Structure 1
């Protein structure tokens, strides 16, 4: 995160970009990194953690343009800002949920950040967003050297929370430029993986806040699939989604948007179903389905 902030600030000055547009994001990332670090060292209460995450995400939203074109002091502006903040909070936690084995966050976030970094070259996306994505990608790849299985360093909350914020912020920046499908595609894997796991746990009546190994990728590792193979599969499906996002950015066609999102969703769900079937589709907490 320190590298990301340094590259964003220096890069914006050297390239003549609007530093003020990136400042809320950098402040939010720094605050969320500190919050995650404190939570790693001495776990915070769930309510306290959620409130502080919301504050950090609200700061980041201040640097985003309107998605619906709302402006001024009206109630609709506040509704949109609240919705954007909640979307960031959700994705922050989704990415944290999915950070359960070595390399997996690099595997799913790296391709999305790469697509976002290239976005300003193929579509009218703010160059500041592409700079933030490129800085995030470089920092993540540098971390990957230490996170390769067996990992010598793991992200923890201090790393996974800001990665989730950066991905979601970039997705909203794309949506604000009219490319909502591309925004969804760059963060689709953690949303689908975490969302399906939460739904399975709700259906089984398992406590959502209790630590578990019910994610499909964790089940895959538990059945004997090598960690690196699981991470490589995640990287493959996330890369396919990133390519679809770039196609959406280039074509800017509603039919292509829907088709790309549908293909990306099917591509991501396919290995998840395969891993769960291999594990016998046991219900959460080990009970038979």
Structure 2
């Protein structure tokens, strides 16, 4: 590390996590009455909640993340891509509009693709995952994957604390990898403040939730988290990036394919994700989020192992172990609890 990045090491970065958490909690608490009045999520057949609950607290999480990250970056002389900051604001506004008046699917996708594309196509040409592929093809595939990732984070935000138990372990692992010099400091910085933002939001979202993130939160969280994982892959660690996101990728992608195979309108709202089926199958919400949290800790450990070991054989074994762990959780969620 150089002197600028030394300033970002353990103690200051943990302070940034704490400050982002405090700002997120304060803004969430202050905004709740306003959200209760103008952004109320009413239960329907596809909802996991049973009482009208305000949504839109993602504004607090994203504000805390970007504010603290920007100040920290300026202080430590670290450059966060301006395209990322602008795209995050854009996609948050798209989410806010959708929370208030439900945008058409095509409009949402076009605006999401614009935000993801701004991040992907402004990255340096040296940022590669598979150098053998033509750059334009690789960037096009990353764009498609990025739009899917943004949406799957939104799809998976359907249970109290679900996004918290996904984002906190992943961002904490990315911060640790930043300390170890295995991921760029801009990515570690964003991961740290996003982790703090989610921790500040968590007390308001624990069962039974007093407020939801809303699309204004889940969409930009998907963009920021996806960019951090992309930075890890560009840093030569695609297996670790895949492991960190493995549960969300598996639950959402398998659900999508199952709905397509059944010729269901896969673009419409539903409650057939594995974590949603678990609650229908008799699992308590606390058990579902507890199992997902523990699974993500395991996946984070495997991801860090692949990086530190630097062995192809260990990476293959870690990927296999991660796939088995995710498969066991999905299988358990899809089966009814014994009475």
TM-score using structure 1 length: 0.89
Report how far residue 184 of structure 1 moved: 0.9
Conserved? CA contact 1:167–1:186, under 8 Å: no
CA distance in 1, matches of 2:260, 2:137: 28
For 2:108, the equivalent position in structure 1 comes to: 49
SS of structure 2 residue aligned to 1:153: coil
Asked whether 1:189 is paired with 2:247, we answer yes
- Structure 1 gap segments, 5+ residues each: 281-289
For 1:203, the equivalent position in structure 2 comes to: 261
CA distance in 1, matches of 2:147, 2:296: 21
Deviates more, 1:251-260 or 1:265-274: 251-260
CA distance in 2, matches of 1:133, 1:167: 7
For 1:9, the equivalent position in structure 2 comes to: 70
Q: 4+ residue runs of structure 1 moved beyond 4 angstroms? A: none
The 1:12/1:89 distance shift into structure 2, 3 A limit, reads same
**Paired residues for 1:116-127 under 5 Å:** 116-127=174-185
Indicate the structure with greater helix content: 1
TM-score using structure 2 length: 0.77
> Paired residue for 2:138, among 80, 84, 99?
80
CA distance in 2, matches of 1:248, 1:27: 33
Conserved? CA contact 2:244–2:300, under 8 Å: yes
Conserved? CA contact 1:54–1:89, under 8 Å: yes
The 1:246/1:96 distance shift into structure 2, 3 A limit, reads same
SS of structure 2 residue aligned to 1:277: coil
**Paired residues for 1:12-23 under 5 Å:** 12-18=73-79, 21-23=80-82
> Paired residue for 1:154, among 196, 209, 212?
212
**Paired residues for 1:1-289 under 5 Å:** 1-18=62-79, 21-61=80-120, 62-63=122-123, 66-68=127-129, 76-278=134-336
Conserved? CA contact 1:245–1:260, under 8 Å: yes
- Structure 2 gap segments, 5+ residues each: 1-61
Conserved? CA contact 1:219–1:279, under 8 Å: no
Aligned CA RMSD, in angstroms, stands at 1.8
CA distance in 2, matches of 1:124, 1:233: 28
